[in-house]
Amino acid sequence: MNQILLISVRPRFAARILSGEKTVELRRVRPRVGAGDCVLIYVSSPVKALAATFVVAEVIQASPSRLWRETQSEAGVTSREFKSYFAGVTTAYAISLKQGQVLRSPVTLDAIRHAWPGFRPPQSYRYLTHQDASLLSPSLFAKTSRSGSFQAAQHL
Q: Which of 17-31, 96-110, 136-150 has the lowest mean pLDDT?
A: 136-150
pLDDT at 142: 55
Q: Supply the pTM of this predicted model.
A: 0.87
Cβ(130)–Cβ(144) below 8 Å: no
Q: What residues contact residue 101 under an 8 Å CB cut-off, 6+ apart?
A: 52, 53, 54, 152, 156
Give me the CATH topology for the region 4-129.
Answer: 2.30.130
Phi, psi of 86 (to 5 degrees): -95, 10
What does the alpha-carbon distance between residue 18 and residue 53 come to, in Å, rounded to a whole number?
Answer: 10
130 vs 124: CA distance, rounded Å: 19
- DSSP β-bridge partners for residue 142: 151
Under DSSP, the state recorded for 106 is E
- How far apart are the C-alpha atoms of 95 and 50, rounded to whole Å? 18
- pLDDT tens, 70-95? 999 999 999 999 999 999 999 999 99
32 C-beta neighbours (distance < 10 Å), count: 10
User: Would you kindly state where each structural domain of the chain is located, as residue ranges?
Assistant: 4-129
Q: Is the dihedral of CA 16, 29, 151, 143 positive or negative?
A: negative
CB neighbourhood size of 108 (10 A): 13
Give the integer Cα–Cα distance in Å for 9 and 7.
6
**pLDDT tens-digit map of 93-141:** 999 999 999 998 899 999 999 999 999 999 999 999 988 988 887 666 6
